[in-house]
Each structure stands twice: as C-alpha cells, then as structure tokens.
Structure 1
Amino acid sequence: MPYDALDDRRMVLTKKYAWAIPNDTALSAIRSQTPLIEIGAGKGYWASLLDVDIICYDIAPDGNRWCDPGYYYPVAKGGPEQILAHPDRTLMLCWPPYNNSMASECLKVYTGNVLIYIGEGGGGCTGDSDFWNLIQESWEEEDYLVLPQWCGLHDGLYIFKRDA
C-alpha cells in the first residue's frame, strides 16, 4: 500500500480512536499505577480500555481537528490546571501535542512521583523541548514498552519516576 494511502488511513483511525495504538502489555503496566489522571485524553479511548479509576480531561472534549466528536469514556473540559485538584493521582499523557506547552505545563504543576507518558522520545513529534528538559532534570526512566506503531513513527510507553 502506498505511503500516502497509509497516512490517510492513519489519520482516519487516529481521529476515531487515539494517536497511539494500545496493547495488553501497555495496558497492564498502566493499570499498576492507579489511580490516574489523564490530561489531553481526546475521546478517552485508552481510559475505556483500562477499566480503572481514571479521571480524564481535554481542552476540547467535544472534538477538534485532531479528534472526532464522541467519547469512549467520560472526558471533562480542562487542561494542566486540573492536576492541582487531584494530587493523589498518577499523571498520564498520551501523545501530547507536538511543539505545544501542554505536556511541560503538566509537569510544572504535577507533584506526584510517577509519570506515564505515551509518545515519541525527545526530538520526536510529541511534547515540546521544555517537557524533555524537565524530564532530563527531574525524572528517571523506569520502564519503556514498545507499542504497535504506524509506519515512520517511533512511539512507546514510558514510565518515569521522579528523581529523589
């Protein structure tokens, strides 16, 4: 199948479900870190598969150019500021927008010790340089799991622990 056709198919499916493709190993790893708060949850697809105590927020929960309307799991309107109301929850970020401060703003207000991050590594197409600088300064990679990937993408599931 030509790359353009694959890219078109990827766009249809990411808008319908999620940017990252979950698998059982990743879902099990996330389940071990509950309770959770997810910022940038989109349609709540990953949350619906987890079946755990998770609260989901997105700045545009009714859909936007990256996410079709409709939900798989309840998603409330909100962004990084919602973390302050849930200090006892593990933060989960799934494909935070590229070159956007959302992920770094989340880390700046998050006081917990575990971060679940699903996306590409530093220099990839998720998060911003401030996010990766904060990761380097204060976090240690505890686990990395390979996810099913679209052609040309290199995303995975990272579990980071805050440096002592």
Structure 2
Amino acid sequence: MISPEQTILDYKISDDDMKLFNPYLKNLKKIIDENSNLEKGELVSLLLTHRNDFVTEFCFTIPYYDVLVKTASYSPIVEIGAGSGYWAGCLSKMGVDVIAYDSHPPGAHSPWEWFKGNPWFDDSWYHILKGDESDAAHHPDRTLLMAWPMPMNPMAYNALCSYKNAGGKTLIFIGDPHPASSGDEHFYKMLYEFKEIETVNLYSWPGIKEKLLIYSLV
C-alpha cells in the first residue's frame, strides 16, 4: 500500500503497464525519465507545467496497472461524467464491459471555455453517450464509476441516488473526498450510509491527494 504522500514520481512502471494501452502514463513517465537529473522540486514544477495539457488530452486521474485491474474486477461498469472517456477506453481495451455517459461529450470546442461543449477535455478515447446523472438508473446491474465529479455540484449525489433507487449495488468513486474538490456535501453524507469495501491511495500528480474508494450500497 502506498502512502498519501507518494505521487506519480514514485511510481515504477511495470512490465504489465507496458502491455496496456495507456499513453497517459507512458508519456508522463517519459517526461519524468528524461528529466531525472533535476532536483525533485524542479521536476515537480516541470510536471505541473504539463498538467493542464495532460488533463485536457486524457483525464484527471492517472491510470496504472494495479488500479485498472482493481476497477476491472467490478465489471460490468457504467461511468457517469466520463469526460474524455479515457478510463473507459483503457478498461475496454482490457476486456471490461463499459457504458460511459457525459452531459457534454468532448467535441470541437476548446477546453476551459465553460459555456461551449465540455469545459475540461478536448479529446475522446471512447464512445461517450450523451446523458446525465439520471442515466445511472438505467444500469443497476452494473458498477457505478464516477471520477472527479464536479465540485460543489449535485451531479454525483443525483447519480448515486438514481442508481441506488434503481437497485444499484456498488460504487467506485475516484477523487479527493471533499466537497470543495469533487461532489457536494450531500454526496459525502450519503456515502457515510454505505459500507466502504476498499480504499486505495493513488499515485497522483504532485499536490493532488486522491483515492479510489469502493462502496457496497446494500
């Protein structure tokens, strides 16, 4: 188990990682390896200058072998707020059955233009269905996956309610478990009602403390 202080700088790519479709991790580690002569503080600063580019091309959370395998073990999956579909794409290439929704699937609009298309992502890595949190109710037979839902926003809470009320049984939540970072206070209050099956501290961007949390809703 890794400590909360560890970041992607501490991650050692395995042979299993190299077999996976995962340009996010491979491109990021290439930058790290090519600048291994830098002091850690300088390397952190360099990485952070690239973060927005990586996020808009791929996603927020950096996937790697162990955490993808952990997520895949809960297949089939429905992802709400799938963004670019990068995690869905990685999982699908591992043979996982994934259905992914986003209210604004990435299109031609530039990222960071909040009122045009998807405000975060400019690439698509999977077929993303246009839909919102209510679509979670259509798939109670699947594990619900949500990664970094919008902060101070009811989307995650609404999705979880829709899914649970339809008979859904398992949630995988990825993010920094705090309403200022992802989800809202109602979402976290609801999580306290459920059994936490597993918690995984993730190798993340420097300065980002995120976890993968798995809950049983029954």
The structure richer in helix per residue is 2
Find the counterpart in structure 2 of residue 147 from structure 1: 202
Find the counterpart in structure 1 of residue 101 from structure 2: 57
Find the counterpart in structure 1 of residue 4 from structure 2: none
Find the counterpart in structure 2 of residue 48 from structure 1: 89
Report the residue type matching 2:150 in the other structure. Answer: P
In 2, the alpha carbon distance for the partners of 1:32 and 1:152 equals 29
> 151, 156, 168: which is aligned to 1:98?
151
TM-score by length of 1: 0.90
Gaps of 5+ in 1: none
The structure richer in strand per residue is 1
Residue identity (%): 35
Where 1:110 maps in the other structure, the secondary structure is helix
In 2, the alpha carbon distance for the partners of 1:50 and 1:124 equals 28
Report the residue type matching 1:56 in the other structure. Answer: A
Q: Which runs of 4+ in 1 moved over 6 A?
A: none
Max Rg structure: 2
Q: How many residues align?
A: 161
> 10, 25, 42: which is aligned to 2:66?
25
Report the residue type matching 1:131 in the other structure. Answer: F
> 86, 104, 121: which is aligned to 2:177?
121
In 2, the alpha carbon distance for the partners of 1:103 and 1:58 equals 12
Q: Give the aligned CA root-mean-square deviation in angstroms.
A: 1.7
Contact kept? 1:23, 1:147, Cα under 8 Å: no
- Cα 1:114–1:9 change in 2 (3 A) is same
> 97, 109, 130: which is aligned to 1:77?
130
